[in-house]
Amino acid sequence: MTRIIRTLLIAITMIVSYVTVFAQQIFHEQLAEIEAKHFVQELAFSDAVTEKIEFSKETFSNETMTLPYRKATIPGYGDKASLVIYLHGGSSKGDDNETQMQEPGIKAIALWLSENNRKAIMLVPQCPADKAWRGSTQDILETLLKTYIDRGVADANKVYIFGGSMGGTGTWNMLSNHPDLFAAAMPVAGNPTGLNAEAVSQVPIYTVMGTADKIMKISNVEVFLTEMDECKAEYKFDIEDGWTHEDVCKKSYTNERLAWVFKHVKGQPTGIAPIAKDDSKLVNTAWYSINGQRLTSEPTQKGIYIRCSLYSNGKVITDKYYKN
């Protein structure tokens, strides 16, 4: 009799577990569908907003070179504008003053500034084809930023720098050589190896890397941040599971991260932030067309899709997925 009862209890437990998992799966699918539809609406709204933000074509020269760049003036609150500069990756080098604008981070940053009524001047320079964001290009970037500050149109205490890939490494370099310029920074998918950790530690930093990045090594950033720890630096470090190099460059600029960067004002400490850790695991992924139609499986054709990722902590992350 005891054996029968035990067997029945095991069977009931298994049935309850199966029903619970099945119910959770249905709930997750419904939640993903809601998130996807909401995301489609947000995309339409963000497209409408960013279309109104115009980036004029400009050039800036010093004794050694002429740098093409794009400039957007974003209206908002405050007497003086924040000064924001974005450094593109290696594939956008040239002199057409067009190619650098293809990077999604530019749109995400401009949208955040606009939606949050943050008065800002946003600059997007284009690196010459035979150079990188170091040496002479750093010199002209420093002069360009100081020109806007010296004119009195930008707030010297609200200067922010962003960049991905080559631009991420360039951002680290700018912080190493000109830390006094910046209120905060966000280098993603970059390499800070060999730089001055003491100098970089003067600037609050939010950096992002991906576990599937075959170009930039997470370990290089971890080693450098350990050096920064000795200087009591303020930073946040996110490691995104499964993100490739391209993923990190395209998807890192979330509202939460941008809000963290832009809350900083030079000379006004906000406290030391430890490395951000998240032990949650990916449970399920739902795929949708850019119009919000549910797909039966992961897309195989080239295009832009919506991906809803559910994690074990209940968090749902919805983002654009670029299939090449």
> DSSP characters for 179-228?
GGG-SEEEEES---TTS-HHHHTTS-EEEEEETT-SSS-HHHHHHHHHHH
Which of the listed ranges 47-51, 114-118, 180-184 does the model predict with the highest average pLDDT?
A: 180-184
pLDDT for 46 equals 46
pLDDT for 320 equals 67
pLDDT for 79 equals 84
Q: Are residues 173 and 293 located together in one domain of the fold?
A: no
| Mean pLDDT across 58-67 | 95
| Mean pLDDT across 241-258 | 95
258-303: pLDDT as tens digits? 999 999 999 876 644 333 344 567 777 888 787 777 888 888 887 7
pLDDT for 180 equals 96
| Residue 321 near residue 39 (C-beta atoms within 8 A) | no
**Is the per-residue pLDDT at 52 higher than 90?**
no
Confidence of residue 187 (pLDDT cuts 50, 70, 90): very high
Asked if the structure places residue 314 within a domain, the reply is: yes
Q: Are residues 285 and 258 located together in one domain of the fold?
A: no
Asked if the structure places residue 307 within a domain, the reply is: yes
The rounded percent of the chain whose pLDDT value lies above 70 is 77
Q: Which residues contact 171 (CB under 8 A, 6 or more apart)?
A: 87, 133, 161, 162, 163, 185, 186, 187, 190
Please report, for the domain that includes residue 120, its CATH number.
3.40.50.1820
Asked if the structure places residue 38 within a domain, the reply is: no
Q: Are residues 98 and 209 located together in one domain of the fold?
A: yes
Lowest mean pLDDT among 27-31, 137-141, 257-261: 27-31
Euclidean distance between CA atoms 88 and 162, whole angstroms:
9
Query: What sign does the CA torsion over 154, 158, 161, 162 have?
Result: negative
| Backbone phi and psi for residue 267, each to the nearest 5 degrees, phi listed first | 90, -5
Average pLDDT, the chain: 85
Domain finish residue from 262, 292, 316:
262
Cα separations (Å) of 231 from 15, 188, 228?
55, 21, 5
Q: Are residues 169 and 250 located together in one domain of the fold?
A: yes
Confidence of residue 170 (pLDDT cuts 50, 70, 90): very high
Lowest mean pLDDT among 8-12, 29-33, 137-141, 160-164: 29-33
Domain finish residue from 208, 229, 262:
262
Domain finish residue from 236, 262, 288:
262
pTM over 0.75: no
Q: Are residues 55 and 180 located together in one domain of the fold?
A: yes
Q: Are residues 226 and 320 located together in one domain of the fold?
A: no
Supply 159's token pair. Answer: 């200067």
Cα separations (Å) of 157 from 22, 80, 82, 160, 315?
53, 10, 8, 9, 35
What range defines the domain where residue 223 resides? 49-262
Confidence of residue 78 (pLDDT cuts 50, 70, 90): confident
Total number of domains in the chain: 2
| Structure letter (DSSP) for residue 90 | G
Q: Are residues 55 and 134 located together in one domain of the fold?
A: yes
| Structure letter (DSSP) for residue 152 | T
| Mean pLDDT across 29-49 | 51
Asked if the structure places residue 127 within a domain, the reply is: yes
